[in-house]
């Protein structure tokens, strides 16, 4: 019995697909268990969609008066550029929750 979080492939591994299908229909008990390797993503490994969402949310916060968390150049007033500087420095206090894949 696979533990929780494991994916189970009920088709036996054989060289010929027709034999595999016949074995699974006949009630073959060969089961292949695959466990996905857990992987943590750091700031440099966000997807482009996560990065866009984080930068947009932080730029909105900065434009509404949130404190800036990094040192910025004197003439920099664009909230998007400020958010990009904070993201590059790893100072944005936003987390990404990812669901498990099926």
Q: Is the pLDDT of residue 78 over 90?
A: yes
Question: Has domain 43-89 been given CATH number 3.40.50.720?
Answer: no
65-74 pLDDT per residue, tens: 999 999 999 9
Give the mean model confidence (pLDDT) for residues 46-75: 95
Alpha-carbon span 102 to 98, nearest angstrom: 13
Q: Count of CB atoms within 10 A of residue 68's CB?
A: 15
What pLDDT does 97 receive? 87
- Within the chain, all domains assigned CATH 3.90.940.10 are found at 43-89
Token pair of 11, please?
């088709």
Torsion of CA 32, 38, 39, 40, to 10 degrees: 160
Give the mean model confidence (pLDDT) for residues 62-84: 96
Q: Is the pLDDT of residue 12 over 90?
A: no
The model carries a pTM of 0.56
Confirm if 71 and 93 have CB atoms less than 8 A apart. Answer: no
């Amino acid at each position: 019995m696979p533990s929780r979080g494991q994916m189970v492939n009920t088709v036996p591994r054989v060289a010929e697909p027709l034999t595999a299908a016949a074995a699974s229909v006949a009630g073959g008990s060969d089961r292949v268990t695959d466990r996905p390797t857990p992987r943590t993503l750091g700031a440099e490994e966000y997807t482009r969609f996560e990065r866009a969402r984080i930068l947009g949310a932080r730029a909105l916060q900065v434009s509404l008066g949130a404190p800036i968390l990094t040192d910025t150049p004197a003439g920099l007033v664009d909230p998007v550029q400020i958010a990009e500087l904070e993201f590059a420095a790893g100072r944005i206090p936003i987390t990404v929750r990812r669901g498990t894949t099926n």
